[in-house]
Amino acid sequence: MSSRYHEDGRAKPVIAIASMIDTTPFECPWSVSEELTSMISSQIAQSGEIYVNPREEFAFAENPFGQDLSWVKREFTNHEFVVFLELVEHENAPVSKDRKITQALPLQELSTNISMAVRIRVLDLRGATSKIVLQEMVRDSYYIPKTLLPTDYNQIAWGSEEYSSTPMGIAHAKLVQEIVSRLSDYILLAKSR
């Protein structure tokens, strides 16, 4: 169970993590954005440095990556920071320099990269107006050799015991680790100022 305070009584940064927006055409038997949002929230909370209420879910109609941020303080009351995430790339891309070979063979017979990109925006809500603390694109990829048997993600889905050792499970864990590291660094730095 997570606490809002450190053992010495200092307050932890209180953050809201909005559900990740998914603008990719990637198809999967489950919601990849829900998976990534859940993993990010869980890892930040487990760090013990930042407070994330695991029971909160946020829905909003406005564009969190737009210029108008006047609505954010109203929607995310009782939080010091809010994290917005957008999955902008998620694809299996063949790894071959020879286009003729790439086009002639089915994807299962080629080595591939799971290429992913997530747009991040962190807002500091402590002042009179919302202030952008972090805005960047985190990119990552994971190489899958052609010798590896393809995974049936209908059988081995997110939440199953085997999923974490699949190529997509490993790729997502690696991406989430990078995002959590960036978020933690910037939120803790902003809180200290």
Residue range 3-15, pLDDT digits in tens? 888 888 888 999 9
Please state the rounded mean pLDDT for residues 173-189: 96
Q: Is there a contact between 97 and 30 (Cβ–Cβ < 8 Å)?
A: no
Given a cut of 90, whether residue 89 has pLDDT beyond it is: yes
Task: Output the six-digit token pair for 59.
Answer: 């829905």
In this predicted model, which residue has the larger pLDDT, 111 or 80?
A: 80
Given a cut of 70, whether residue 191 has pLDDT beyond it is: yes
Rounded-to-integer distance, Cα 111 and Cα 94, Å: 6
Q: In order of start, what are the domains of the chain with their CATH numbers? A: 14-88+117-139+168-192 (3.40.50)
Nearest in space to 27 (alpha carbons), one of 146, 153, 138, 155 = 153
Instruction: For residue 140, count other CB atoms closer than 10 A to its CB.
Output: 19
Residue 23 class from Cβ within 10 Å (0-12 exposed, 13-18 middle, 19+ buried)?
exposed
What is the full DSSP assignment across 114-127? EEEEEEEEEEE-SS
Per the document, the length of the chain is 193
Rounded-to-integer distance, Cα 49 and Cα 8, Å: 12
Q: How far is CA 123 from CA 74, 103, 187, in A?
A: 13, 44, 9
Q: Is there a contact between 138 and 174 (Cβ–Cβ < 8 Å)?
A: no
> What is the share, in percent, of the chain residues with pLDDT greater than 90?
66
What angle separates helix 167-192 from helix 32-47, to the nearest 10 degrees?
50
Given a cut of 60, whether residue 1 has pLDDT beyond it is: no
- Binning pLDDT at 50, 70 and 90, where does residue 102 land? very low
In this predicted model, which residue has the larger pLDDT, 70 or 99?
A: 70
